Amino acid sequence: MANKLLSRQTERIQQGVEHINTQRRRIDNLEDEVKRLPMDYVLKVDFLHEITEMHSNFRQINNKLDKLIEKLLAK
């Protein structure tokens, strides 16, 4: 009887320890995600900046092509 009680208590303690370890892993994962947030944000901002630059470059190319076509048609 006492052995059965000790066995149950040991099992409950082990389940509690497993639960705590699971929660600790979840917290560690959350901390990793929070640490990455600024880097991801900066990368997104950089990406948007690069896209804006590309649009500007395409506009310049388009304008140059339009001028070239106008000169060719004017001949």
| CA–CA dist 43, 38 (Å, integer) | 8
The tokens for 46 are 């950089």
Write the pLDDT tens digit of every residue in 25-37.
Answer: 999 999 999 888 8
What does each C-alpha distance from 27 to 34, 37, 53, 64 come to in angstroms? 10, 15, 39, 55
Q: What mean pLDDT do residues 21-49 have?
A: 89
> pLDDT value at position 12?
94
> pLDDT value at position 52?
96
DSSP string, 39-70: HHHHHHHHHHHHHHHHHHHHHHHHHHHHHHHH
- Higher model confidence: residue 40 or residue 69? 69
Q: Is the pLDDT of residue 40 over 80?
A: no
Q: Is the pLDDT of residue 42 over 90?
A: no
Q: Is the pLDDT of residue 41 over 80?
A: no
> pLDDT value at position 53?
96
| CA–CA dist 75, 70 (Å, integer) | 9
